Every structure is written in structure tokens, then in C-alpha cells.
Amino acid sequence: MANFYIAEGPDGAGKTTLIEQLTAAHPGCHVQHFGKPESAEEAENYWKTYLRFIKRYEEKETVIFDRCWYSDMVYGPVMRNTQEMTNEKMEILELAVKACGGGIIIYCTGKLEVLWKRCMYRGENYITNKDMLKAICAKYDEVMNLPKYIPVVRYDTTVKW
């Protein structure tokens, strides 16, 4: 049975840094990054790709998702003006994770000004303006209230401890 860590959040929110820390803490884990779908057909069936992946790695001790279906629920509507990932498909995937061992969603977020500065520092070309990032952050806040079967931990990466 696997432990699934799902790193989610807008660009500049610190997912890569978090994943590096998780990887160091769990040697031999499997990290999977899911990019945007390449076509409308792939987008419509992307949930099946996630499901196959979950089942394929259910025997692995630790699996880390670098974004997944929750990102589709954010970036689809905001960036592509379409929503392929439904709440029903989300619940099916959550139940699959639960059946294969369980998991946790780590929602990396923070102050918009800091996230925007990080995007600009990195030379982000996907997020072209601050209003776009603001819309993504707002949609993430909405989507991260939807999970029913996997707990969500909010991790503000812009606050110093």
C-alpha cells in the first residue's frame, strides 16, 4: 500500500522545493509530474491517465504527485476556458488513492505579491500577468475546498517561521 503526497498550488508557491524535501525524506519514492494535456481528447480522458498511474504504483511505499487532477480543475477553466475534470471524476480518483493506501494534499500557497515576484524571478512565461496569477490563486482556493476523501493541508510558503 502506498502513501500518496499530492503537491498542489499556483506557480511560484514552492511545490518544487517541497517535493525536493519530501524526496530527501523518502529515498526511493516515485515522483510523477503531470503537465497540461496536449489535446482536447487527452484532456477529456486525462482522469483515466491518473487512475492508471495510481493503480500502477499502489505497491510503492511513497508516491509524490507534482500536481494532478486538482490542477486540471484550476488551469482548465482559467487558462483554457474549459473544465474537463468534474467533481465526480475527482471523487473517483480520490477513492482510488484511498483504496491504494491513502494520501494527503499539500496545498502550497501564499501572498499574491510574493508568488508574483517568484514567477518573475524565474522568468515564468506561462503566467503572463499578475491578474492571471490572481485568478489561478482564487480558483485554487475554491478547488482545495472540494476534496472529500483526501485531507488537505494548507502550506503558506510565504510566511517565515
Domain limits, the chain: 3-156
Q: What pLDDT score was predicted for residue 12?
A: 92
pLDDT in tens, 57-67: 888 889 999 99
Nearest-angstrom CA–CA distance, 34 and 69: 9
The counts of H helices and E strands in the chain are 6, 5
3-state secondary structure of 56: helix
pLDDT in tens, 134-153: 999 999 999 999 999 999 99
Nearest-angstrom CA–CA distance, 87 and 143: 10
Query: Which phi and psi angles does 82 have, rounded to 5°?
Result: -150, 155
Q: Tell which residue, 98, 113, 112, 115, has the closest CA to residue 15.
A: 115
Q: Which fold has domain 3-156?
A: Rossmann fold (3.40.50)
pTM above 0.85, yes or no: yes
Nearest-angstrom CA–CA distance, 9 and 7: 7
pLDDT in tens, 79-91: 888 888 999 999 9
Q: Torsion angle, CA of 161/29/148/85, rounded to 10 degrees? A: 110
Question: Which residue, chain included where needed, has cell 491513502?
Answer: 102
How many whole angstroms from its chain centre is CA 134? Answer: 17
